[in-house]
Amino acid sequence: MTAPKELNIVVLPTGPFETNCLLVHDGTEATVVDPGMGAATLVRQAVAAAGVTVTQIVLTHGHIDHVRDLPEVQQEYGVPSYMNHDDLPWITREALDSMGELGRTHATGDMAVPEQPRPVADGDTLDIAGVEFTAFHMPGHSPGSVMYRGEHGDGAVILGGDVLFRRGIGRTDLPLSDPHAMVASLQRIPEIFDDADTVFPGHGPTTTVGEERRENGFLQGLAG
């Protein structure tokens, strides 16, 4: 039986909201997840330290704190990116120029429009560092929010974006957010994920699905 490749996840908090950009690699090939503001420099440093080659960019959703450095990373590595297309409205020139204070905070006036990511739909799979990750469309925080789950060895890893945090969930009071859709997405979590699954959220520390089912008031409220 062939041993599974190593799976390394380097967490690179960046930008004004401490967004977790991730570098996921197997010692040879790497995937960049959610390159927010300032991520391009941090990714460059992490790639050099690990001695790996970036092969793709994966986006959990299209909010500016997760995509601010997407154009720079796309240009530097010349690789495809992937995102659910329900979030394409966030990465148009019109959207980048109309964000007000949020746009000024993220210097969107100096930001190029990203090359359109390739579409990701519910149930699609992506090879990330030699591991097959399945995409789960989990709208609510944004229309195109996706959580990616990959089984590796004796456990599984979830690239969670802004759906589920340690003791919290993504906001639903933002433009294009949908509280009802978020409730439906959260209700899916115990159905499609295992308690032992490790979640790498878009902000804050890692957690597990089981820990959140026990301690996260939002999930407890749904269960009740």
Region 219-223 average pLDDT: 79
- State the average pLDDT for the chain: 95
The pLDDT of residue 152 is 84
| Residues 202/63, Cβ–Cβ less than 8 Å | no
pLDDT at 154: 75
Q: How confident is the model at residue 153 (pLDDT cuts 50, 70, 90)?
A: confident
Mean pLDDT of 140-157: 93
pLDDT at 22: 98
Amino acid at 111: M
- Residue 66 reports pLDDT greater than 70: yes
Architecture of domain 8-223: 4-Layer Sandwich (3.60)
Query: Do 31 and 9 meet the contact criterion of CB atoms below 8 Å apart?
Result: no
What's the distance, CA 63 to chain centroid? 10
Share of the chain above pLDDT 70, in %: 97
pLDDT of residue 4: 55
Torsion of CA 216, 37, 157, 132, to 10 degrees: 140
**Is residue 84 over pLDDT 50?**
yes
Residue 126 confidence (pLDDT) above 80: yes
- CB 158 within 8 Å of CB 145: no
Count of beta carbons in the 10 Å neighbourhood of residue 92: 14
- Residues in Cβ contact with 222 at an 8 Å cutoff, skipping those fewer than 6 apart: 183, 186, 187
- The predicted pLDDT at position 220 comes to 83
Confidence of residue 223 (pLDDT cuts 50, 70, 90): low
Residue 210 contacts by C-beta under 8 Å, 6 or more apart in sequence?
194, 195, 196
pLDDT attached to residue 1 = 40
9, 17, 64, 66, 107 from 99: Cα distances, Å: 31, 16, 9, 14, 10
